[in-house]
Every structure is written in structure tokens, then in C-alpha cells.
Chain A
Amino acid sequence: MIDAMVAMPLQSDMLPQGLDISFKALPALIVVGMMLTFMVAGFMYKVADTDNMWVAGRSIGNIENGMAIGANWMSAATYLGVAATVALSGVYGLAYVVGWTTGYFILLIFMAAQMRRFGKYTAPDFVGDRFNSDTARALAAITTFLIGFVYTLGQARGMGLVGMYILGDWSAITGGALSAYQTMMIIFMVITIGYLSLSGMLGATKNMVLQYIILIVAFLLGLVATGWTTGYTTVLPQLEYGMMIDSLSSEFSDPFVGGSYYLWVATCFSLVFGTCGLPHVLVRFYTVQNERIARWSCTWGLFFISLLYLSAPAFAAIGVSLYSDQIGAVYGDPGMSGAAADVLVVTAAQLADLPQWFVGFVAAGGIAAAIATTAGLFIAASSAISHDIYANIINEDATQRQQVLVGRLSIVAIGVLSIIFALDPQQPIAALVGFAFSLAAIVLFPMFFLGLWWENTNRPGALSGMVTGIIVWFIPMFNEGNFGLVNGGEGLGIEVISTWMPAIGSGLIGVPIVFAVTIIVSLITDEPPLETKQMVRQCHSPEPMPKDKTAADVVAERNGNAPADD
């Protein structure tokens, strides 16, 4: 049982087998050109005031926002990690495909439009204003920062691994102090941080449309070309790979080989509700004019995302077949390493003997995915620090200039922190990102959901729920020793916890616990003030709201700006 649960292979050798690691001029040119384009776009939309920095002046339209949602969403975990997990863990990997797409429907029906009506800048802002508590705001901001950090580890790992294909082994410039992977990861992270501190959300949004197009074209063309030249598939690999499943090892398609039924459901559950709690996803609904656009851009976002998610298993199937033909056995001992799986998309294109510039283009797509998401995460994390903690709690008279400065400094801080922890990541990309989803599902999702749908949720309820959630999330993390936190990575190894509450799927247990704590504490303490309740009600009114108003403004106007008695 336990063996099956721990299907994700641990690995420390970060040199992916089968990948041609050397400097390649054309692919390097493609990546440099792509990064320069991002820089130019970022510079052209350079902003200095907070409204533009955080929500792009609320001027983004339907499809554009949908693409931005897609680019924001489709990180290295999507571009590289999903195919990797499907290839290595078989049917268990499909929990990622299902969880990371279907979550958008829940987001759409329960939260997108209501969030837009609430009309606040950031996720912690929502929590702080809804529950009238700076402590709640700070907890949400810290959680947002933590999510950004954990999530970014996966992106950094992806950038480092793919970077090696394009630029080769640069470890010599560090005098051998760092490995090839580590050097490459640091180079790309530094570029990302530099670009982000130049531009804000508007630049990032404009860039994201560009990034979405690059990454989806690279992925789909890469898949079709790889399938075509190897003769596995023709024009619609997303369906044709069904024919080749039979010829692959049984590990690829036998149910419950890579993970138990429970683990599958737990993972999928965590990913679905993590989607609904992710600050950098929710913030995209503030950037639209009205609720209708919020709804349709969520739907468009899911469409753009599905294009890739329906294709990733096909890439995995072709990749597994090519790898076992040309490199060695994929499953068993030794089998394919986690690092090799994480770049399988690139390796497959390379093994199919596609021209080098084309493989470089596919690799560049992976880097675009990692950068786009890291940008969104850093924006969310830095606005949590500068807007929610600095401007709201530490220095209430902060000027816009000060806020932007603090925002930029926190981008650098989270970047440095991620670089340090990404030097030796012990988990595959998808798992690293999965941990961030568990955290969002456990700590933030219940606050958003109850806050929007149950007006009696109050401050003590939210505070106790969030504190419980943070503790609950850390239990399996310590137990499994992720990030080398306990016993140098060994963890506590308590079997009951690793069986029923794996870190990757801790939301299945954690979310109900936090819901229960929040509801019970809210029931036994005083009801929230009428003004707060009215704010929640305003979020559900069908009456259109001007785009520059928040629910709180409407309530204040109605009450003649006087604080209401409760």
C-alpha cells in the first residue's frame, strides 16, 4: 500500500538522461529573442501607480483576459510536469489533468463574478475587509507569499532543466561550486526577477497574452511534429494516441499502479479546490470591467487551458514510447528519473530527430510557461507584502511610490528565497506545485467560499479556520520531510499520516476540517456587523456595479457613510 502511495520517485541526480545537453546557437537565439520581447513589452507598459500595477486599470477584455488566465495558469507544471507525471505515474498522473482543468468550473459557478463584485485589489484584501481584521489580512498575505514561494520552486526547477538543453552546462563559470542545473536555474530566475521588477501587472497582462500564444503554439506544434515524424500519430494526436496505449507498458494505463484510488481522489480534490483559492488566479477576475466578462473570461480561460491539457497525455505516450525505444526502460529499476521525465516534452521532440531550432522552440515554450506563471505569482506575493502588510498594516500613510518600491523589493526577496530552495528540489515539478495547491485549498478556499456565501462567517471563525489550516498543511509536509525540513528530508514518516493525508492531497482532509472549525467558531461567537453582511449581499445582487466601485462603497453610500450598528 505504502509503496504504491509513494509513486513519485525521489531523485537527486539532476542530469536528465536522454537530453542532449550542449550549447545550441539557434535555440539560444530563440530564447534570448523571446526574453527580449518580454522585456520590451514589459518596458512599454511600465507603470508607476498602484491601480495599474495591480489590476491593469480594470480594462482587460474577455478573450484577452482568458488568454492571460491561461498563461498565468499554465506554468512549467502544465507544460512539462503534467506530461512527466502521466508518463511516470500512469493513470495517477491523470488526477493532475482532471484536477487542474475541472477546478475552473467550480471557480466559475461559485466565485468569479462575486469576487469581481467585491472589487478589492488582492486576495488578502478580500480576507482582511470581509472579516474586518488586519490579523486575517496578514495571515492571508503570509499564505499568499508562501504559495508563491512553493509554487515558484517548481517553475525554477523547470527553467533549470530546460535551460540545460538550450544553453548547455555552464557550471564552469561558478568554478564547479554549482552543478549545471543549479547554474542554469539561477540564470533564468535572475532574468525573470529583473523583468518583473521593471513592469507591473499591465505589462505582465499584455505579456501574458504573448506568452500564452508562444507556449500553446510551441506545445501543439511540437506534439503534432513529434507524432508525425515518428509515425505514431497524424493530425489529431490528442485522440490518436489511444491507438498506441496498447503497445506501451502496462504501467502507463493500468489503473492504480502509480497511486491508489484514495491518492487519486485526494490529489484531484486538492488541485480543484486549490485552483479556487489561488491568489494569482483570483486576481485575474479583478482585471475585468464587469461580472459578465468575469464569467466569460473564466470560460475562455478554461478553453485555452484545455487545449494543452488534452494534449499533454498524448505527448507523454509518444515520449514514453520513444524513450523506451532509444534510451532505456521507462519503468522499473532504474527506469526514467524524475529529472528526465520533467523534460520529456523536450526530449521527445529531440528523439524524434526534429530540427534543432524546432526543439529549441518547444523548449522555449516551457521557459515562457515558467516565466509567465512566476510573474503572476510574484505579483500576487509582492502585492500581498506591499499592499496588504506594508500599506495597510505597517505604514498606513504609504505613498504610491513607497508601495511600488516595497513591491519591487519583495519580488527580489521571494526570488532569492526561491533560488536558494530550488538548488536541490527533491520532488518533480508537478508535485512541488501540488503542495502550493494544497495550501491554497486548505487555508484560502474556505475563507473565500464561506466569506462569499455565508454572511454569518465572522472574524473569530476566519482567524481560527486559517490558523488551523496552516497547521494542518504543515503536518504532512513535516511528515514527509519535503524541502528537507525534517530529519534532512527523511521526515517523521508516520505511516497513518502518509497513507491518509499525503502532502500532495492534504486538501481532502484539510478542507473539511477548516470548514468545520470556521463554521463552529462563527456560530458560537457574535454575528458579524450588519455592514459586513450587507457587503456580502451586495456581492450577490444582480444589479450591475460600476467598475470603479467596491461592495464596501455601495454599502457605505446606502448607509450614508455612517457606521452601522449591529
Chain B
Amino acid sequence: MTADTNHDSEHDTREVATDGGMSDVEREKQVDYLDVEINLLKPATPFMRDHLRVIWLGFAIWALTTFGPITLTRIAPDVMTTQMPVIGFPLHYFLLAIVGPGAALILSVWYARKRDQIDDKYGIEQPTAAPEPTETTSDDATAADGGVSE
């Protein structure tokens, strides 16, 4: 991990010191991952806690956008099959065929950016040994991306 002694003020404002003044980033640096238990429900390190929060939030929204529309159609078929104005789709058809896959794509972009931001926060840089054969996108992860809901 990179030894970064200069605290990034932007990040530090977010870390309210609750444990003797050590920030998440500092605590994370003392962690040796080969010694911490991997538990999906009980994250052992600040990094994993941040990461799992994103994962579970994404998973919950995914479950709603994937299985929600068909379930609603089962519960309230009349409402769900009404024709939408302008585009003409029956509502359930639109939610299944377009919103379902679209939401997964938006969520993926959201997750990948969030994960880049977490990497930034903990000063993690991925090595790129050889020059990239293709262009790399989204090098900056500065934009706070809230594009989750449809």
C-alpha cells in the first residue's frame, strides 16, 4: 500500500474520529488481510465495511428492479397492464423489457465508480505494467453518482 502521510483534506472531513482519533484510512493501513476473517455479514476492516455497504445497497436495489415488476404484475395485473402515454407500452412490459436490464446497467456503472472512489479513499492504485492497448475509461472517480433509481 502506498505510504501516504499527507491526509487528503477532502477525505478527512468525512471521517469523524470515533476511536481515539484514528481515521478509517489509518486503521486500514494497520490491517493485514491475511489475519482478518472474511465474513459477508460482518466486515472486519473499514475498507470491507465501506465496500460491503455499497454491495448490499446495490443488491437490494437490484432485487427490486429485477423481481419487483413481475411480482407487481402478479399482485395488480389491471394496474400494471395499463397502456403508458406517448410510448404506448403496457406498463409491465416496459418495466420488464427495458427498466430491468437498464437498471442493472446503471447499477453496474454506479458500483464500479463507487468502488473506484473507495479505492481512492484508501489510496489504492491498480498497477498497469504495460501500456494499455485500449483506452481506459473513467479515470477520475470524483463525480458523486447518484444515478441509481430509475
Contacts and interface: CB of A to CB of B under 8 A. Distances in A.
Interface stretch (A106-114, A154-162, A170-178, A343-351): A106-114
A104 interface: yes
A207 B128 CA distance: 24
Given A91-B92, A255-B92, A540 B124 contact: no
Contact of A289 (B40, B109, B115, B129): B129
Contacts of B59: 106, 109
A260 to B, nearest CB: 9
A45 to B, nearest CB: 14
A62 B134 contact: yes
Interface string B74-112: 100100110110011110111011101111110111011
Contact of A544 (B83, B100, B126): B126
Contact of B97 (A61, A310, A536, A538): A310
Interface string A254-276: 11100001001100100010000
A296 B97 contact: no
Given A242-B88, A555-B34, A264 B100 contact: no
Nearest to A242: B89
A98 to B, nearest CB: 4
A256 B74 contact: yes
Contacts of A298: 108, 112
A547 interface: yes
Given A61-B132, A102-B104, A453-B40, A245 B111 contact: no
Nearest to A108: B108
A97 B100 contact: yes
B84 A242 contact: yes
A170 B77 CA distance: 49
B38 A540 contact: yes
A55 interface: no
A351 B89 CA distance: 25
Interface in A225-258: 238-239, 242-246, 253-256
B47 A289 contact: no
Tell me whether chain A's interface is mostly helix, strand or loop, or mixed.
helix
Contacts of B111: 105, 108-109, 295, 299
A216 interface: no
B97 A97 contact: yes
A535 to B, nearest CB: 9
Q: From B94, B107, B135, name the one whose CB has the most chain A CB atoms within 10 angstroms.
A: B107
Contact of A302 (B88, B98, B105): B105
Contacts of B129: 289, 546-547
Nearest to B131: A61
A54 to B, nearest CB: 19
Interface string A450-469: 00011100000000000000
Q: From B62, B101, B133, name the one whose CB has the most chain A CB atoms within 10 angstroms.
A: B101
B117 to A, nearest CB: 12
Nearest to B130: A59
A542 B124 contact: yes
B81 A534 contact: no
A547 B127 contact: yes
A543 interface: yes
B33 A543 contact: yes
A306 interface: yes
B22 interface: no
Interface in A280-309: 289-293, 295-296, 298-300, 302-303, 306, 309
A534 B34 CA distance: 5
A58 B14 CA distance: 37
Nearest to A247: B88
B88 A245 contact: yes
A254 B92 CA distance: 9
A294 to B, nearest CB: 10
Given A105-B62, A242-B84, A290 B128 contact: yes
A296 B67 contact: no
Contact of B104 (A104, A291, A293): A104
B32 to A, nearest CB: 9
Nearest to A296: B112
Nearest to A252: B93
B38 A255 contact: no
A61 B136 contact: yes
B25 to A, nearest CB: 11
A537 to B, nearest CB: 5
B55 A110 contact: yes
Interface in B41-75: 47-48, 51, 54-55, 58-59, 62, 65-67, 70-71, 73-74
B76 to A, nearest CB: 11
A561 interface: no
Contacts of A537: 33-38
B108 A558 contact: no
A452 to B, nearest CB: 8
B137 A102 contact: no
Contacts of A242: 84, 87-89, 93-94
Interface of A: 59-64, 91, 94-95, 97-98, 101-102, 104-106, 108-110, 238-239, 242-246, 253-256, 261, 264-265, 268, 272, 289-293, 295-296, 298-300, 302-303, 306, 309-310, 313, 453-455, 533-534, 536-544, 546-547, 554-555, 558
The 3 closest A-B pairs by CB, nearest first: A541-B33, A242-B89, A101-B101
7 contacts: A62-B137, A94-B97, A239-B87, A295-B112, A310-B97, A542-B33, A542-B124
